[in-house]
Structure 1
Amino acid sequence: MSKILDNDYYDIILSNISVPAFDKGDNITFLTERNSLVHVLRTDMDPCSLGGQPYNAFPALYTLESTISIEKSGIGTVQRNPFLGLFGRGVMIGVIDTGIDYLHEAFRNNDGTTRIQTIWDQTIQTGTPPDGFTFGSEYNRDTINQALRSEDPLSLVPSVDSNGHGTAITSIIAGKPNEDLTFSGIVPESDIVIVKLKEAKKNLKELFFVKPNAYCFQESDILLGTRYLQLISQKIGRPIVICVALGSNQGGHDGRGILSSYLTYVVQLPGIGVTVSAGNEGNKRRHYFNSTTTPPLYNDFELRIGENEPLLWMEIWPYAPERISIDVSSPNRESTQRVFPTINECRKFEFIFTQSIVWVNNIVLEEETGDQLILIRFQNPAAGIWYFRAQSVGNEPFSFHCWLPSGDLISNDTFFLNPNPDTTITSPGNGVNQLTVTAYNQLTDSILGESSRGYARNGLVKPDIAAPGFELPCAVPGNLYGTATGTGAASAHAAGIVAMVMEWAVPRGNYPSMTGNDINRLIIRGARRSTTEVYPNNVWGYGQIDINNLFQGLTNI
């Protein structure tokens, strides 16, 4: 078995400068121009060791970000304009998600053939991997068409979307109109390229104390999917718009994670657009913020842990220059005492009166950001209120953020008692140049309660834009239709609009060197803004997406 699939090997992210030291056999998987994966044999280590590698070397875990009106964004106006009429012709849509129901009518041409250029299914190892990749199976348009004509399509192309999220996201962007159900994707004449992600390795879930049955993906597979979409775009010679409707609460929320920074780079290349979801953490009570400026220089805060929470992690990110210690107390007030920052020490605490075990890594220098990181991992934590005391080491004022896992990695019964809804944008939404999309209810013109709020931890303005994200009509597996809600759905809606601008710019020759970042700036300038709000702000970003405004601005030029 390939090491990238083998649970006996950790996938460690390292700089390409370090590759020669590990490059033996199939130890290395190339990720990007800057980084590769090295596959390191896993030994029976204590969780404390973080696998014997620095925190930032392990791929973060990502979860899904979604659970109506086309007119609301000015799309109908632009498509009815005879001089524009932008439906995505000549543009490819790339979706990295849970796969696609390729049998669905929404993804077929009028003659019944497929609109899908290729599917890379990372979960199937019986077919041929794409050129330059070592796992999964690739199915091209000809093979998919052959399957569609056959009596037993799944015997030829066994790729399915058992979750439905990927099918929904793709259809919101590019689904073929269905007149009976008044459904249409935004760019129904675009071509589609799909990456179906494999689930995160069991050893990575174990390392970050995530339940074995939690449905999540690892950062490195999303990166490989992004590179695959770029290669397909180059090979076919068409611009591509990539939608990432996934998010993670791991990391410093400042855009410096490997996926965030790579998407920031990619979107500055001609002919590549990127939209990402802001996250659905706004009302989940999974973020805490404190700023302590006067003596006594400590801060007490509380976390309620629900009944069925066998495993849990929590990250605390203080701001420089101050360093802080942490003291963790169980519901019956058993305490770890103060745990001080060190280079790479980890402390394990077994509580006497409960079955709870807590591991604390108080890392004085997290390599990727240069900041302090306190990683706290719980095994069988007693249900109830846990108490934490963050205290200045040098008796100086300090402030810090604290995050719990995103999505379904924990239950809604686990939350901070005094939460803060701001700075809840998930990765990769904190990156500089990708279009980070929050969701509003297009029927009431109000932001969705669950939509994550900005800004990034380093003060960067995020989200960029708000798009419709409440019960958007979509395709679901089994040739059925349903609705999708959340910032994932909103990022898909925005991806369709990016594709319309890309069609105007590149295939139609109005601006052949247009980058995704250029389009994002045009979208921000053309956004609809309320007279009662100050923009940008941490809820709406620069306003509501409006492509009609965008093109009116261009015609004035």
Structure 2
Amino acid sequence: MVMNMLFYSEYVLLMSIIWWNMNQKIENLLNVSLDATREELESSESLSTGFNWRDNTWEIIVRYTGNLENIKANYNVYVRELLFNYAIIVTDKATIELISQEPQIVYVEKPKSLYFQLERAKSAACASNVRVGQPGAYGYKNISRNINESISENTSGNIGSGQTGHGIGGIADNGIQYLSGKGVITAIIDTGIDIYSSEFRNADGSTRILDIYDQTLQREYSAADIDAFIGKDRNVYTGRDISQEENEEIPAFDNIQHGTNVAVIACGKSGVAYESDIIVVKMGYSYNNQFPRTTSLMDAIDYIIRKAMEYNRPVAINISYGMNYGDHNGNTLLESYINAAASGYKCSICIGSGNEADKAVHYGGTIKNAQTDTVEIAVGEYQSSIDIQIWKYYWDDIRVTLISPDGTERVIVTHGKISRYTLGGTNVISMSGEPSPYNLYQEIYINLQLQGSYITSGIWKIQLYGENVRQGTYNIWLPASVSLNRATGVIRPVAYDTITIPATAGGCISVGAYNSYTGAYAAFSGRGSALTDVLTAGIKPDILAPGVDISIRRDTRQGVVYTSVTGTSYATPFVTGAAALLMQWGIVMGNDRFMYGEKLKAYLRSGARQLDGVTQTPNPVTGYGALCVEDSIK
């Protein structure tokens, strides 16, 4: 009897191990995370994202059919239902297994951390209120609101010089009507917004912001709420004279000004869609770090679409976040949700392509039978953990060997199972996954964890050998560069396939950056796949906009401050504002009631202008060219 009980307990343990490794309704990374010990979770930011240390619960993303009523009734769960049959669920580890077996659950993923697409920023005080624009290769430094002028030719510098433009009904002296975004909503998903700024207020001082959803406080604010805060007597500029408690009371208080700067470009009164109404979502943070999660982004998009439906207005949504986890082919639940949202309502979702092209985070190649490729990855000192993703076609048999700096090696061979071992003084978790019912690519996942204080520094190697190869294409990604030590990265990185997720979603408008002073492509701007047929509609990025040394003006009690910002974070709002103008021209003014989604994207692509020296578009570097609203609505 004792032997039978021992056999049974061993059998249960074995079956639990097999389940964590083989549940194909659950993505690979979530399988690994659920199988991880608490110590392993503590050592890895990527594995622990979505885990709440306080109550040992997990936040997960599910795609489902029908409804979730039986799950709400039968399980101890918190459910946040999103549009288009997606949901965010919070529950414990054991319940995730049970939920995943329910017939209406299609697929389950864990949240991932998202990162700003900010390349660099600097501030300087200036004496005058207006900085005179300097002519460059692509024009002067002020945004033109003339629909017969190219926005891309007039955005090469200062934003926020304080001038106001003509409204939708405004007619200039030359008889030309101007677009302003009136009747359209511009939505900003970011770090918050400065509600006191004159950029976002009407002539009578009231706010142009319709609604704010502050995820950090889990609180909504109406326009009346915002006006009440504006009416209070306080330092409304930098917050230096305001206590931390007071700062936290201000709706969507933007302590780093990233969201405010983005909003100034997209919809400030001196920005592109300067008369559009505004909705703002201040992104919430992970339980375990300072970065927002993919679940926060999905929640934000859901909130905005529901509000736009309530107001019955078209909406242009701006997203300046990205990540590297996934096959970069549109197969994550976040990407499929964005596709559903983009096709499910009168909207345009504009997402920055990321700033990873000149970073050491990617390698890609093609391997043949009996060929060996060796990819070297430098790991700097004081690196506590690192994830390595290898994505390939499932039908290609490629032997993958991990080699530590001291030369010890391990072949990753077991499909669909999680392995743990020590290599070169570093703990390693690896998994050679299976394709899922929704993804034909195979992932080989490697997580290096500390054994002691940090993982072993030096040159790690990924050796690939083609055993039975049909196509041979493979890609290797590290996490976003901002999450790595400076000395950590791929030794010979490849700049292609560096567009960050979710800008890889087919339904969004992915925005790269160029230097509008010189007319040159920005080296940091994320690139699409070099293997994509340039004649297909799947080329990414879709379009470029100015994203180098954009100067944004801000009034403070100490005087006027100019912030010079660079990155696809700041290229994206030019396109978001342009999308609002096109929706105004089409939907609000009655020229084209279907000016949204893929049609709007097609118009922007059609009107884009080639950069100097570019001989063929579209291409995976410059996409379809530089933003030009004039040519998009001819």
Task: State the TM-score, normalized to the length of structure 2.
Answer: 0.75
Higher mean Cα deviation, 146-155 or 441-450? 146-155
Distance in 2, Cα, partners of 1:376 & 1:82 = 63
8 Å contact kept, 1:61–1:250: no
Tell me: CA distance 1:22–1:529, structure 2 relative to 1, closer, same or farther (3 Å): same
Cα shift at 1:37: 2.2
Partner in structure 2 of residue 359 of structure 1 = 429
Tell me the residue number matched to 1:339: 412
Q: CA deviation at 1:474?
A: 2.8
Question: What amino acid sits opposite 1:62 in the alignment?
Answer: L
Q: Deviations over 1:133-179 (max 9, x none)?
A: xxx10011001101111125848635311222111111110112xxx
Decide whether the 8 Å contact of 1:147 with 1:157 is kept in 2: yes
TM-aligned CA deviation for residue 185 of structure 1: 1.0
Out of 257, 263, 275, the position equivalent to 1:189 is: 275
Does the Cα contact within 8 Å between 2:364 and 2:474 map onto a contact in 1? Answer: yes
- CA distance change for structure 1 residues 407 and 64 in 2, over 3 Å: closer, same or farther? farther
**311-320 vs 469-478, which moves further:** 469-478
Q: Which residue of 1 aligns with 2:441?
A: 371
The corresponding residue for 1:300 is 374
Aligned to 2:24: none
TM-fit CA distance, 1:442: 0.2
Quick check: 1:10 aligned with 2:58?
yes
Given candidates 69, 74, 84, the residue that maps to 1:33 is 84
Q: How far apart, in 2, do the equivalents of 1:39 and 1:270 lie?
A: 27
Check conservation: 2:64, 2:106, Cα contact below 8 A.
Answer: no
Asked whether the 8 Å contact 2:362–2:495 carries over to 1, the reply is yes
Residue deviations 1:263-314 (CA, integer Å, cap 9, x gap): 223223453111111110110021101211142x432211001123212111
Partner of 2:113: 61
The superposition leaves residues 194-241 of structure 1 with CA deviations (integer Å, 9 ceiling, x where unpaired) of 111111232xxxxxxxxx4xx322111111110100111111222110
**Aligned 8 A contact 2:214 2:251 in 1:** no
Aligned to 1:119: 212
Which residue of 2 is the match for residue 462 of structure 1?
A: 540
State the Cα RMSD in Å. 2.8
Q: Does 1:161 align with 2:212?
A: no
- Superposition deviation, residue 121 in structure 1: 0.3
- SS of 1:279's equivalent in the other structure is coil
Q: 1:149 aligns with which of 231, 240, 243?
A: 231
Q: Give a deviation string over 1:36-95, Cα, whole Å, max 9, x none.
A: 22222158x9xxxxxxx9996112321111245536635769976744301111111111
Could you say if the C-alpha distance between residues 397 and 495 of structure 1 is closer, same or farther in structure 2, counting changes exceeding 3 Å?
Answer: closer
Deviates most, 234-243 or 150-159: 150-159
Residue 440 of structure 1: CA displacement? 0.1
In structure 2, do the counterparts of structure 1 residues 5 and 244 end up closer, same or farther at CA, with 3 Å as the change threshold? farther
Query: For 1:234, what is the secondary structure of its paired residue?
Result: helix
Report what 1:133 is aligned to: none
Matched, 1:92 2:178: no
- Counterpart selection for 1:442 from 484, 502, 516: 516
Measure, in 2, the Cα distance between the counterparts of 1:97 and 1:7.
Answer: 28
Instruction: Choose from 556, 561, 567 the match for 1:486.
Output: 567
CA–CA separation in structure 2 for the residues paired with 1:172 and 1:315: 35
Pairing 1:401–2:478 present: no
CA distance in 2 between counterparts of 1:392 and 1:494 reads 43
Aligned position for 2:586: 505
Tell me how many residue pairs correspond in the alignment. Answer: 508
Q: CA deviation at 1:399?
A: 2.5
Given that 2:84 and 2:340 are in contact with CA atoms closer than 8 Å, whether structure 1 keeps it comes out as no
1:70 aligns with 2:143: yes
Q: 1:317 to 1:166 in 2, by over 3 A?
A: same
In 1, the alpha carbon distance for the partners of 2:591 and 2:57 equals 49
Cα distance, 1:74–1:438 mapped onto 2, change above 3 Å:
closer
Question: 1:329 deviation in Å?
Answer: 1.6
Post-superposition offset of 1:457:
7.6
Residues 213-252 of structure 1: pairs in structure 2 closer than 5 A: 215-252=290-327
- What's the CA shift for 1:27? 2.7
Q: In the TM superposition, what whole-angstrom CA distance separates every residue of 1:299-351 from its partner, at most 9, and x where no partner exists?
A: 2211001123212111110124213332212111122x2111412x1111223
Q: Does structure 2 conserve the Cα–Cα contact (< 8 Å) formed by 1:423 and 1:453?
A: yes
Query: What is the letter of the counterpart of residue 266 of structure 2?
Result: I
> Identity, % of aligned pairs?
26
Check the 8 A contact 1:456/1:462 in 2, yes or no: no
C-alpha spacing 1:388/1:455, structure 2 compared with 1 (3 Å): closer
Q: Helix, strand or coil for the counterpart of 1:338?
A: strand
* Kept after mapping to 1: 8 A contact 2:393/2:440: no
Using the size of structure 1 for normalisation, the TM-score is 0.84
Per the alignment, do residues 510 and 549 of structure 1 end up closer, same or farther by CA in structure 2, a change over 3 Å counting? same
Deviation at 1:411, TM superposition (A): 2.6
For the residue of structure 1 that corresponds to 2:179, the secondary structure is coil
Secondary structure of 2:366's counterpart equals strand
SS at structure 2 position matched to 1:268: helix
Q: For structure 1, which segment, 481-490 or 421-430, has the greater mean C-alpha deviation from structure 2 after superposition?
A: 481-490
Report SS of the residue matched to 1:506.
helix
C-alpha distance in structure 1 between counterparts of 2:549 and 2:521, whole Å = 13
Q: Check the 8 A contact 2:212/2:280 in 1, yes or no.
A: yes
Instruction: Decide which moves more: 258-267 or 425-434.
Output: 258-267
Please, which runs of 5 or more residues in structure 1 have no aligned partner? 46-52, 125-135, 177-183, 203-211
The corresponding residue for 2:348 is: 273
**8 Å Cα contact 1:65-1:280 kept in structure 2:** yes
1:429-479 CA distance string (max 9 Å, x none): 112131111000000000111111113887630001111111223356968
State the SS of the aligned residue for 2:503.
coil
Distance (whole Å) between structure 2 residues aligned to residue 501 and residue 365 of structure 1: 40
SS in 2 for 1:493: helix
- The amino acid of 2:309's aligned partner reads Q
Question: Could you tell me how far 1:105 is from its partner in structure 2?
Answer: 2.3
Q: Structure 1 residues 28, 458: closer, same or farther in 2, change over 3 A?
A: farther
